[in-house]
Amino acid sequence: MDRKDLQSLSRIRAREAKALLDAGLHDGAFYLAGYAVECALKACIAKKTRKNEFPDKDRVNKSYTHKLDELVKLAGIEKPHRALLESDPVFRKHWETVRLWSEESRYQRPGAHDAEDLVAAIMKRRDGILSWLRHYW
């Protein structure tokens, strides 16, 4: 899997989350919306890997996490992320919503409100999380 695959998966998962939300399937929408962010962050990590580079084993192993805050660090975008959290209350609100997600969400029933909030937080065109991550992938 390469960077373009991860970018494509991020877009697909976001569209699937929106379709599930529109169909009233909130649990699945919540779950897939989080994976849209995870795939986008992993595309950011992939961008940092140079062609023909032998990757650092520790960095590779750490990249196999589902923890979004950890992926931000591994992607090397922690500084602009922190700056935006401090300067933009809308982005901060969206990120706090995104942080509610984990891969364990598949076993939870987040409900309509949480799913709507998460899908909106990632998909808003101007200030959504995916819109911001696309600058780095």
Digitized pLDDT (tens) for each residue of the chain, 137 residues in all: 899 999 999 999 999 999 999 999 999 999 999 999 999 999 999 998 877 677 778 888 888 899 999 999 999 999 999 999 999 999 999 999 999 999 998 888 888 999 999 999 999 998 999 999 999 99
| Euclidean distance between the first and the last CA atom of the chain, given in angstroms as a whole number | 14
Q: How far apart are CA 74 and CA 41, in angstroms?
A: 9
Task: Enter the pTM of the model.
Answer: 0.92
pLDDT for res 32: 97
Half-sphere exposure of 93 (CA within 13 A, CB side): 9
Q: Which of the four CATH numbers 3.40.50, 1.20.120, 1.10.10, 3.40.47 does domain 3-133 have? A: 1.20.120
Half-sphere exposure of 90 (CA within 13 A, CB side): 10
pLDDT for res 55: 73
Domain positions in the chain = 3-133
